[in-house]
Structure 1
Amino acid sequence: MENKLFDQFLGILVNFMFPIKMLLRTYSLSILMIDIIWVVLNAVYAVMQATFELFRPPPVKAVRLETVLVIGSGRGVGREIAIQLASLGAIVICVDKNKKNNQDTVDMIKKQGGSAACYNCDITTKENVEKLAKKVKFDFGFVSMLFYCCGIPSPRSLLTQPPLDIHDTLDLTLTSYFWLIDQFMPDMKKKNHGHIVALTSVAGLSYIKDQMPLSVAQFAVQGLAESLMEDLRINKIDGVHVTLIHIYPFIISDDNTDLRLRIPSYFGTITSSQAATSILESVRRNYPEASVPKHLLYLGHLLRILPKKATVLIRDLLDTGVDFA
């Protein structure tokens, strides 16, 4: 008798719970479908927006009176970035370990009527970076923009010089970047205003012969930049921007007139000044990613999604094939 009553009670309970379970499953499925539709709609909107911006880019922002720290301002693209920022009205803090080259950059800026200061520092040690940050903050206060131009090798050095020790490569290209971010980015977050710019070589997109440590370090810089972007997004900080710039060094023609490219009509060559102009345009439009030259950014995106065998074939085809004439 008791077993019969228990079975009846259990049957009633199961019949009662079954529609509730069905309702919960239906509700969960509905929420999932809504989330999927929302993601698809926003993805389509993002693609349309990106396509629209190809034909009508966002307006450039002013950098007048921004305090800009340029690491690696003693030569090449770093020097040209510093000079052009000063011409746009920014207060430029030039940092380089080569005292003479760095002072020459500052003298050029001041000769053109710009505002600049010279700081000589080897950023491959944490203590030096901390001292530099303390001095800069004392002299200028808030640093609103940081350009990291170190670790971009020249075409000649890629081909003729032996690779640096792996520790030296990582310290120059990646580790020092962490130290600089730790010193300056917290202030940017507090004020919800700032811009971090990372310049990386194409070595981070495709392996360069006998330069494995450099390729690994440059690839890691890309991961660091993307992590910074995600950190800002998660913490809902929309006033601080990160821009990752891929530089194809073989197209920089300064002091490399004896270099011969496999496909010169495709790659072409530009000066450091032209490269700096392209970089600053992308930064002032708050692009998260750009390249020099610009059209090769899409090649990098293509190589990420194609099968491995296809990417190898394309890399072999477009291999710069640099040689000395």
Structure 2
Amino acid sequence: MLLRIYGLLILTYDVVALFFFLVTSLIESAYHLFSPPQPKTLTKDIVLIAGAAHGLGKALAADFTMHGATVICCDIDTRCNEESAESADSLGYGIAHAYAYTCDITKREQVMAMAARIQKEIGTVTVIINCCNLPSPNIILEHTTHDAKKIFNIAVLSHLWILQAFLPGMKKKRRGHLVMMSSLAGLSGVNELLPLSSAQFAVQGIAESLNEELRFGGYGKNIKVTLVHIYPLIVPSDMADSIQFRLPSYYGIISPAAASKLILDAIKRNYLEVSIPGYLLYIGKLVRVLPRKAIFATRELLNTGVDFS
């Protein structure tokens, strides 16, 4: 009897402690909405950007060098990747530099070989951003086996190979930041994007599981994980006419340069999860608690189409 009473008292204490912890966490989160954490400096970081040859990756390479970081541009497109590195290097004012490495990140052996070269030639990578993705609009019955495998190799398995290659160095140095990109297709199923949407959900699982693994392993305070949900379409201006919106002000489009600056700010402030634009992260989470019919109706209202022809 006494043991049961003791157990009940312990449980009551734990519940009350949890309640106060939840309240203080909510207050802290609300406070940071109006007073964001101070940004960290990047001058001592070596940043690997996978998918740096074009678009967002190229813009990130430029922004990181302007903030004093050493940048490693990684892509399978050798010529464009070297151009990105040269462009970024010119923005470092002789202080920060950018380098180009050709690598197919879907091939584990290539990633491991590149990691060994970088460690020998430049040093330990402390920030990794994987910008690689592959849109493939088709209903599932029209996807070939090759298409489906390619999507998962680029959007999912590449994260695993990069982690296996570079995370040990971060743990040894007890310093690091891992950034993973998701999209609307990773928060809600999207018509004609079944393989990509599945892969984007997997990216969220990787980010959350990795964060827990680092926390339980004692690295949570030293190695950060940031998951970025990109809701607008990141396109150059000459593609803007191919995008159709029912509510343009809700989603909209954004340039790679603008998206890069928002992502850079999230990295500097060590945010765990962010969206572009920021308010849609909270709306996306709230919508998921609605009844299924309400979710479907909301999707139809906010329907966005892309002309891929």
Q: TM-score, normalised by structure 1?
A: 0.87
Do the aligned residues in 2 keep the contact of 1:152 with 1:201 (CA within 8 Å)?
Answer: no
Deviation, 1:158, is: 4.6
Match of 2:233 among 240, 243, 250: 250
**1:320 and 2:304 are equivalent in the alignment:** yes
Q: What is the Cα deviation at residue 249 of structure 1?
A: 4.6
Deviation at 1:269, TM superposition (A): 2.6
Question: Corresponding residue for 2:22?
Answer: 43
CA distance in 1, matches of 2:63, 2:170: 23
Task: Give the match for residue 224 of structure 2.
Answer: 241
State the match for 1:174 in structure 2.
Answer: 156
CA contact (8 A) 2:232 2:253 kept: no
Post-superposition Cα deviations, 1:3-53, rounded to whole Å, max 9, x if no partner, equal: xxxxxxxxxxxxxxxxxxx11001000000111111111011111110111
Tell me the residue number matched to 1:211.
193
Cα distance in 1 for partners of 2:275, 2:15 equals: 32
CA shift at 1:252, angstroms? Answer: 3.8
Q: Distance in 2 between matches of 1:245 and 1:152?
A: 16
Match of 1:52 in 2: 31
Distance 2:259 2:43 in 1: 21
Structure 2: distance between partners of 1:97 and 1:107: 16
> Which residue of structure 2 lines up, in the alignment, with residue 151 of structure 1?
133
Task: Call closer, same or farther: CA 1:79–1:158 in 2, change over 3 Å.
Answer: farther
Q: Which residue of 2 aligns with 1:3?
A: none
Deviates more, 1:168-177 or 1:303-312: 303-312
Deviation at 1:187, TM superposition (A): 1.9
- Tell me, yes or no, if structure 1 residue 272 matches structure 2 residue 274: no
1:250, 1:320 within 8 Å by CA — same for their partners in 2? no
Residue pairs, 1:280-299, within 5 angstroms: 280-299=264-283
Spell out, residue by residue over 1:290-324, the C-alpha distance to the aligned partner (whole angstroms, 9 max, x if none).
11122211122113322322222222211223458
Task: Report the CA distance between 1:270 and its aligned residue.
Answer: 2.1
Q: Is the helix fraction higher in 1 or 2?
A: 1
User: Residues of 1 paired with 2:70 and 2:303: CA distance?
Assistant: 40
State the SS of the aligned residue for 1:256: helix
CA distance in 1, matches of 2:98, 2:118: 12
Which structure 2 residues correspond to residues 133-144 of structure 1 after superposition, within 5 A? 133-144=115-126
Q: Is the 8 A contact 2:233 2:254 kept in 1?
A: no
- Distance in 1 between the 2:281 and 2:268 partners? 17
CA distance in 2, matches of 1:183, 1:165: 26
SS of the residue aligned with 1:196?
strand
SS of the equivalent of 1:257 reads helix
Q: Does the Cα contact within 8 Å between 2:211 and 2:224 map onto a contact in 1?
A: yes
Number of the residue aligned with 2:108: 126
Q: Which has the larger radius of gyration?
A: 1
After TM superposition, which residue ranges in structure 1, 4 or more long, deviate above 3 angstroms?
251-255, 321-325
Unaligned runs of 5+ in 2: none
Q: Deviations over 1:232-257 (max 9, x none)?
A: 12123211100000112525454312
Tell me what 2:49 maps to.
70
> C-alpha separation between the residues in 2 aligned to 1:284 and 1:167?
34
Q: Secondary structure at the match of 2:73?
A: strand
Hey, what does 1:13 align to over in structure 2?
A: none
Identify unmatched segments of 5+ residues in structure 1.
1-21
1:63 alignment partner, SS class? coil
Whether 2:290 is the aligned partner of 1:303: answer no
Per the normalisation by structure 2, the TM-score is: 0.91
1:92 to 34, 48, 71: 71
Residue identity over aligned pairs, in percent, reads 40
Distance across 2 between alignment mates of 1:165 and 1:65: 40
1:222 alignment partner AA? Q
- Contact map agreement 2:76 2:104 (CA 8 A) in 1: yes
SS in 2 for 1:123: coil
Deviations 1:45-84 (CA, angstroms, capped at 9, x unpaired): 1111101111111111111131000000011111101110
Could you give the per-residue CA deviations for residues 176-195 of structure 1, whole angstroms, max 9, x where no partner exists? 11011011112212322100
